[in-house]
Structures are given as C-alpha cells and as structure tokens.
Structure 1
Amino acid sequence: MLLVVEQFLNGLQFGLLLFLLAAGLTLVFGIMDLVNLAHGSLYMMGAYFAATFAAWTGSFLLGALMALGATLVLGIVLEMTALRHLYGRDHLDHVLATFGLILFFNEAVRLIWGPAGLALPLPAWLTVPVPILPGIHYPAYRLAIIVVALLVALLLYLGVMRTRIGMLIRAGASNREMIGALGINIKLLYTLVFGLGAALAGLAGLMQAPILTVQIGMGENILILAFVIIVIGGIGSIRGAFLAAIFVGMIDTLGRAFLPNLLRQVLSGAAASTAAPALSSMLIYLVMAIVLVVRPEGLFPANRR
C-alpha cells in the first residue's frame, strides 16, 4: 500500500511538471504555429537561473522568483530578436533555427557556468517528510511541487478561459487570420504567449532542479515527452495538455516502479531491470501512435478546449 501511494504521487508530480513544460509548448505551437525545439533550453535556463540566484541571495524562494522573472524576460527577448523572423515560414525552417538555438544555449551555459553541473539545495523546511495518510509520509518538496503545479494549472485555465487575453489566445489558436483582421496586435499577442510559455518552462526547470543535477542539455530529453503530450492532448489545448501529461507521468513512473517485479517472473533480475524502463517508454509512444491513428487532431483539439 505504501509503495503504491508513493509511486502514484510520484507519477502525479512528474506529470504536473510535464504539464508546465507542455502547456507553454502547446500554446506556442497552437497559436504561433512555431515548432520550438529550444523550449527545453528555456527549461534548462530556468534551472540554471534558480541555482545561481539562490546561491547569490541565500534564499531558495527568492532565487526561484528571480529565476522565473529572468526566464520570462529571456523568452520575450528571444521572441523579439530571433523567432519573430520565422513566422509564416516552413516548419523545417523552425526546426533548423531552433535546433541552432539549442546549440547556442548549451554553449552559452558552458561558457558562463562551466561544464560541471550545479546543485540547488533545498531549505530545511522542504526536506522533511509530511504525513499524508496514517503511516504514510511523503517528501515535503515533492508535495509542494504538486500543490504549486496544480495552482498554476488552475490559474492558467482561468486566465485562458475567463479573461480577454485568454479569449484572444483561444481565438488565435482557432483562427489567427481572423483576429488579425479584427485589428488585434498579433506581434504583441505572440510576444506575450511566448513569454508565458518561457516562464512555464522555466518554472518546470527550477522546480526539477533540486531533484536532478542542473546540467547542460537537461531539457532535451524531457522535451520529447512534452511533444508527445501535445500530440496526445491536442495542439493548442490546455485541458488536453493537462490530462495527457498526467497520463504520461503515471505510465512512466508506475511502469518503472512495478514492471521490473512483473518481468522478473519470466526474466532474470538484470534483464528485467533493463527492460522495464524501455517498455514504459514504448507504452507512451504506443499510446501516441494509437491517438494519431484514431484522432489525428488529438483527444482535445483547440477548438474543443
């Protein structure tokens, strides 16, 4: 029972982190029609900013807030100086240009912070276990990630569904030509959307930083899962990204936790430990393939958000 609850919460926590990364990516892709491979680099920069600012200020929370603001500004500057020139061009141009940005950010980090990774230590009050059920404790920081991510998801949903800017974002995801014809400043809307996406990626990175080592290229593997999520959920759909992220996080976490024991019934211990993570990943991509066949627009396309 203890293991099941812990792994369920781990899957929820991982899924919510994936949602923060995928939400910005799906908005940028759905509204701006921009394939941004450098989204994972913004995730990495959020982690590096948080580690640096926390070391400077001596405060984890202050460092996290400063990192969030820095990633937002970085995203706005990046959109205005580089990505704005890619609008309306072929997706292959987007892929090549943003892949170049990945290399740029990786080398910039190497020059500024060096090749060795950084650590982001947690304050003492976030390292204690918290009782969640009788006899069951869960790390306070992982619980804080779940609470913060759920709060951000709620605010993002209310912002997109209940505000004028959210109305414009939804309209842009459905018909960007129409909102341009109505006199909306498309460039400003795109800048705001990209800045929001960058901030969400940075938030995911800085929250993951205390769990994993902050290192060069840390956003590249997780970016693949973010693309899988927006394909499953539907490009431009916040609800789709949320549900697909939880689903993917659960499959990955529970598969890695419980598949080894199941496979040991028919395989050796070493073979089972090696095969379980691969099978967990394969199941995620199998689900994506099935969704593409059955519903190519995703489970919750933008016009049905």
Structure 2
Amino acid sequence: MRTPRTPTRLADTFTTVGTTSSVANIVMQLSLPPVGEGVSESRVVSGSPRRRPVKRARTTATYLALATLGTEDDRAVMREAIAEVHRAVHSTPESPVRYSGNAADLQLWVAACLFRFFLDQFTTLYGPLDRAALDQLVANAAPLATGLNVKPADWPQDWPAFETYWDSMLPRLAISQEVRRDFESLADLSFLAEAWGGPGRLLSAVFGPTYHLMTRGNLPSHFRDLMRWSWTDADQRRFERVLWLQRWADRLGNRSVIRLFYRLHVWDFRLRRRLGIPVLGRLRLSEAMIRDGGGQRRWLRRSARG
C-alpha cells in the first residue's frame, strides 16, 4: 500500500485514525491535573459533551480547522471567543487544585497534545517521520497554541525543543478518580446517555466497546498506565486489524473527505461571522457542576430519577 507523501503541514497529516483517536487525545490533555479538574468541575453547559455533544464536536473541529486551514483573521476572532468562554472556567476554594481556563502554561500543554493528535494519527498508520519533517510540523503547529493565547515565543521552535518540553511535563501528570470516571464515560460513549437518554445508551452499547479499544490503542503507554487500563496481545491484534481497515479507507479517498470536513467547518465559521452569529454559540452556565447534574434537560432528569 502506497505511503502518502511526507507531510510538511498539519493539514497533510489528516488520516482516518483521527476519527477514532479524539478521546485518547482528550485523556492526554486532561491528564495535567489543573486541566482535568477544570473540565471535571465545569459549569459551562453550552460547551459540554455531556449536554451538547454535537455542538462540542463542532466547535472543537472548527478550532482545529482554523488552526490548520484558516487565516490569521479567522484565528483572531476564534481566539477572543475562546478566551471569553475560558474566563468562566476557574477554581473555587473547594477545588482540589488551582486552575484558570486562560492560564498560558495550561493552554500550552493542551496545544502540545493537539499537535500530537495530528502527528500521531499519521505516524500510527504510516510510521515515523524524519527530523526535517518533524521540525516543519512543529513550526506549522504554532497556531494551535497562539489560538489559545499562548505567546508565539513560548511554542517550541523545533522537534528537539518539543520533545524536551513534552518529557518535562510527564512527571506532572496524574489522573484523579473523579477525572478517571469522566474518561471512562467518554471512552465507552456512555456519556451520550446523559445528553440523549435512550438513543445515547443504544449508541454506547453498539459502538462503545470498539471505541474504548481504539481509545486505549491510540494512547501512549504512559497515559494508559495513568488510566490503569490493560493492553493485551489480543487487544493489539484487534487494534491492528482496525488500523488495516483505516489504511484502506485512506487509500480509497477518506483523507480527502476529512479535508473537506475541515474545510466545511472553516466555511461555517465564516458564515456565522457574516451573519453575526456567535461563533461558539451563546454562553450558558449552570449553578451546579455538570458532573453533578447541572444543565441537564428536564426529561432526562425525570428519566434518571425513574
């Protein structure tokens, strides 16, 4: 099977693996305790996958699309919108760690993980890249960080600098029991039941086991260990069979479909701007944390009590 040309931009790294590795990347991001607790304690209903999973998927995809295919003007508007949402994300006296949604050091880690989302989906299918390609990709990935209000000078300038930063962060990672439960519900798709009730439970039952496997398989072993997830030889064989199918999907044109998917999000973003629609939608907060039932629809609350 022919290997795609060596990527020089993040947009060249799109592969079918990215459709099954998003939760693995979320685990990586939220393994930094201030980031994980900030999401676990969130009261931002309008941006929660537990309440509005389709909207959350759209806004995340839009951010990635603008970082890879958008203009600096697009990114500036998105940066301001994200900063507004993140101002509502901050620790309280009861929080286990101190955090702020706009803290540059936390956003730098999130951006580094997003870079790994693109890099890993390509190398998982097609093998490692040489130093020159990695240097180019690191430089091209800077908008992932600057879009989160990280200063350009704080983003690693080449691959060795990125590796040094990444390795320095690993000892700081930890996953609390509360955050681990959140990850489990994302990995097996059971969180969809909170948003959609019965249909969400059905989707989780049908697709959850395979998605859990792919989440574990797409995680580096360090993060699997933090999650206390096992990985057997049988798991590896099943994972490799899915990767074989994903390579064929890429060969049959799915990479072009994925690129179009990102393009559509750029066009949707620009249309929203032109029509005066908030690019991230209306900000909605709840008094209670989402994990404690905040922002849940009435009919789902009745269903849960029943």
Which range, TM-score by smaller chain?
under 0.3
The structure with the largest helix share of the pair is 1
Q: TM-score, normalised by structure 2?
A: 0.27
